[in-house]
């Protein structure tokens, strides 16, 4: 089952129909995806299932209905075991950004972390899950698929938030601060930490 977030509300792509649920159910084949997204952005639909009988086809079908933007990002640890966070639009987030033409997605993730935070000497240590969310750019809704990587660095220099990306602050957070930051973060970011802690 895929979990796609629309304005931080869950949209599940599923091949099972669950009875007695507070989720609205839509058929992936026939749904007016734009109308559903608008309703989720406007709080008319809080959570929804998109049903298709073949689980392997669900993401493919969604991609046929909405343009896809591919991005790479990093869950970065320093030598002290602190995690690199950025504050953007008043919420804690992890550094990530869109892929450039001809670029490998791992290179995108490393480049974006460097550009958004100033951190160097990044080494990918693990491939994490992908996350999915829908956003609007230039009047068009897009499905952003972010490929996440665990990274380590011995960098101890200054942190620089990329101003043109609206980054207000960059910080290394210890485990207690991470827990606090996640109370003011995005559902996709929380997912990464839930699964990272399971793996550790």
Are 185 and 118 part of one and the same domain? yes
Please check whether residue 97 is in contact with residue 108, taking contact to mean a CB–CB distance below 8 angstroms: yes
pTM above 0.95, yes or no: no
Are 55 and 100 part of one and the same domain? no
Closest CA to 40 of 131, 133, 137, 130: 133
Are 120 and 151 part of one and the same domain? yes
What pLDDT, on the 0 to 100 scale, is given for residue 196?
64
Residue 24 phi, psi (nearest 5): -80, 140
What pLDDT, on the 0 to 100 scale, is given for residue 198?
41
Closest CA to 84 of 161, 145, 146: 161
Domain that holds residue 14: 2-65
What pLDDT, on the 0 to 100 scale, is given for residue 145?
98
User: In a structure prediction context, what are the per-residue pLDDT tens digits for the chain, which is 200 residues long?
Assistant: 899 999 999 999 999 987 767 789 999 999 999 999 999 999 999 999 999 999 889 999 999 999 999 999 999 999 999 999 999 999 999 999 999 999 999 999 999 999 999 999 999 999 999 999 999 989 999 999 999 999 999 999 999 999 999 999 999 999 999 999 999 999 999 999 987 654 44
Are 82 and 58 part of one and the same domain? no
Are 23 and 105 part of one and the same domain? no
d(CA 44, CA 187): 19
As for how many domains the chain has, the answer is: 2
What pLDDT, on the 0 to 100 scale, is given for residue 200?
40
């Amino acid at each position: 089952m895929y979990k796609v977030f629309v304005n931080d509300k869950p949209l599940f792509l599923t091949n099972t129909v669950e009875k007695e649920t507070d989720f609205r159910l839509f058929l992936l084949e026939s749904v007016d995806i734009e109308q559903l997204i608008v309703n989720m952005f406007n709080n008319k639909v809080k959570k929804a299932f998109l049903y298709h009988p073949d689980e392997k086809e669900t993401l493919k079908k969604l991609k046929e209905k909405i343009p896809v933007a591919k991005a790479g990002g990093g869950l970065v640890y320093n030598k002290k075991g602190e995690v690199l966070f950025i504050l953007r639009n008043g919420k804690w987030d992890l550094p990530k950004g869109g892929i450039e033409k001809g670029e490998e997605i791992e290179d995108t993730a490393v480049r974006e972390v460097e550009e958004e935070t100033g951190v160097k000497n990044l080494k990918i240590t693990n491939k994490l899950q992908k996350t999915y969310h829908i956003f609007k750019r230039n009047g068009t809704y897009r499905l952003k698929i972010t490929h996440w990587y665990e990274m380590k660095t011995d960098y101890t220099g200054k942190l620089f938030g990329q101003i043109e990306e609206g980054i207000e602050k960059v910080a290394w957070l210890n485990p207690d601060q991470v827990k606090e930051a996640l109370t003011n973060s995005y559902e996709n970011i929380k997912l990464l930490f839930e699964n990272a802690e399971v793996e550790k």
